[in-house]
Amino acid sequence: MGGLTWGYVLKRVGMWVLTIWLGTTIIFIIPRLAPGDPVAAMVSRMSAQSGYVENSAELIEIWRARFGLDEPLPMQYIKFVGNALRFDLGYSLANFPSRVDAMVLQSLPWTVGLLLVATLISFVLGNTIGALMAWEKTPGGLKAILPVSLTFTSIPFFMLGILFIYVFAFGLRWFPPSGAFGRGLTQGFNLPFMTSVAYHAVLPAFAIVVASMGFWALGMRGMMITTTGEDYVILAEAKGLKPSRIFWMYGVRNSILPQVTALALSLGAIVGGAVLVEYIFAYPGVVTADYTLIQGIVFMIIVTTATLVLILDLIYPLIDPRITYGKG
């Protein structure tokens, strides 16, 4: 297994299980610490919309029993953890009798597709820009231009989304202001539909890329400055290797490891800002105020992030041969 040992693999898998259990416990506890009752709040919203809900007290008790909220907290917790581990996320509170897992699976591909593509593009562009900014042999003109690409880093995703809609959708009319695909198209793996999806995703993805790639660039620049002073880089230059080979194989490769770790962690953290981008562009992602649906989404994020960290930790020796997980 290369630089890995079975003991280390089992230890990391155990940490993965512990992380998911702790995350599941937290998303069970936090909503129950909030004042009020989610079922009563839902009935109140119904009353505000329609003016009156007949037998509201009886309705609240029935719905509390249906969602298991009338049981003791320990029993609620045991059922919640057991169902979550089976990926049985229950019923939607705001869209009953729709199931949370069905709603997540229906909307998640849109969110994952948008986030995955945008994050990977941001990761590649940001790290390349950061490495070039720190590389001594980068042409002076390029070094002067590269920092300009980081101008919008301090602007939140959703603010850039509004700006891009105004400029590119309503001003230049290059892209549609909202939606995920054009009308009258048959959904599926056909060229017209996939082309329309890609066309509609340009602006929301662009907002995420522009706002986030500066963080990758700044981190990579710091790592690259340290790496370029290492003995192996000086030796490679003394041996007369091509500058491009030294840049990619000796500089970038040895600087990228912390960035890869951050990539796995950022996939979960970026959802907060990306949700607002989806809302602004009316993108059919996982945006909702549904109590149980939000719990299901957070659980999926916890599992995904923990799994990505586990996989990356196990493939570190492939990324950087200097890393070995020995018995000691």
pLDDT attached to residue 1? 47
- H helix count then E strand count, the chain: 14, 0
Contact 286, 275 (CB under 8 A): yes
Give me the pLDDT at residue 132, please: 92
As a whole-number percent, the residues of the chain with pLDDT over 70 amount to 73
Residue 289 has a pLDDT of 46
pLDDT at 53: 54
Q: Token digits for 127?
A: 């790290």
φ and ψ at 293, to 5 degrees? -70, -40
Q: Where would I find the H helices in 152-230?
A: 157-164, 191-227
> Can you give the pLDDT at residue 288?
47
Q: Can the peptide bond before residue 97 be classed as cis, meaning omega within 30 degrees of 0? A: yes
Region of 53 (left: φ > 0; alpha: ψ -120 to 50; beta: rest) is beta
Q: Tens digit of pLDDT per residue, the chain (328 long)?
A: 455 678 878 888 998 999 899 988 888 887 666 655 655 555 565 555 555 555 556 656 666 666 666 677 788 788 888 888 888 777 776 666 677 777 777 766 777 778 788 888 999 999 999 999 988 888 888 888 888 777 777 777 778 888 888 889 888 889 988 877 788 777 778 888 888 888 888 888 888 888 888 889 988 998 898 888 888 888 988 998 998 899 998 889 888 888 887 887 776 655 554 555 555 565 565 554 456 777 777 787 788 778 878 887 787 766 666 666 655 4
CA distances to 91, 314, 322 from 3, in Å: 45, 9, 9
| pLDDT number for residue 47 | 56
Domains and CATH numbers, the chain: 1-94+288-328 (no CATH), 107-285 (1.10.3720.10)
pLDDT recorded at residue 131: 92
Q: What pLDDT is recorded for position 125?
A: 92
3-state SS track over 43-104: HHHHHHHHCCCCCHHHHHHHHHHHCCCCCCHHHHHHHHHHHHHCCCCCECCCCCCCEHHHHH
Could you give the CA distance from residue 137 to residue 155 in angstroms, rounded to a whole number?
A: 31
Contact 118, 209 (CB under 8 A): yes
What is the pLDDT at residue 314?
80
